Amino acid sequence: MVSTELSPGEWILDTIASSIGFQAKAAFGMKVNGRFDRYESAITVGYARFNDKTVEGFISGPLTENLTARLAFSGEYSDPWQISETTGQQLGRENRVDGRILVDWNPIDRLKLAFNVTGTQDKSDPQALQFAV
């Protein structure tokens, strides 16, 4: 997610503006490398057409000498983008939240246990039926 090596306590903020929206990224800590032996965190916030708001991020690091963890999350919320020709109903709202917790435990040198818990909730609207002629 973050491609630049950071010094402890250093912040980096990248912004991207395009024709469909705005996105900002903030990272704190070190470069993400898939290991949790250093404290790391990052957050990405976005805004686009149809009042589409997104947020995602993570925090990871050691909890004890032989126990490390990572918490990651994402969410998207938006207004409808589609109107049904037959009913006039507005559809296409996004309402989704995801999360994950990873825990690595090394109780002894020759044993490593990895735990992974993932959850998601999606209350988004379905798309309207479409007819092609």
Confidence at residue 3, expressed as pLDDT on a 0 to 100 scale = 41
Cα(112)–Cα(49) distance, rounded to whole angstroms? 45
CB within 8 Å of 133: residues ≥ 6 apart: none
Mean pLDDT by 10 residues, the chain (133 residues): 46 50 48 61 86 89 91 92 83 91 90 90 81 70
Which pLDDT score is estimated for 24? 52
pLDDT value for 16: 54
